[in-house]
Amino acid sequence: MSEKAYIKTFLYVWFYILGVSLIVLLVGDGFAAVSFFLGALVNVMLTSHNYRSSMRAAEEDPDRLQRVAVRNMIFRYLFYAFILLYAFINADLNPYLTFFGFLSFKLTMLAVYAFSSRKEEDAG
């Protein structure tokens, strides 16, 4: 159940990203929406890379999985730091909305897991 819900999150996160980006665009301005979208896009890209490389390592050489996980984590957080630094340096971007974009996948995943577990409780 959990891997299936995790995979579904990759689909549903795009609806969340587009919806929140539209709301931010309507409430704020174009640069605010770009800031959120930048953070969300980076988050989905890095989460996808992490998932694919971890699954590949688990299939090919399970002993290598820990090294791959550590390498992915270091790469991911360095890339997040670089994007946040860019958002702070660039006067047009909002670093807080960029950071909120980083949370997109996790927030969507929580909603998907909650909905999936509730659906299983109702069925069972």
| pLDDT one-digit tens code per residue, 9-49 | 999 999 999 999 999 999 989 999 999 999 999 999 999 99
CA dihedral 27, 28, 29, 32 (to 10 degrees): -120
- At 69-105, the pLDDT tens digits run 999 999 999 999 999 999 999 999 999 999 999 999 9
Burial class (CB in 10 A: 0-12, 13-18, 19+), 12: middle
Region 101-117 average pLDDT:
92
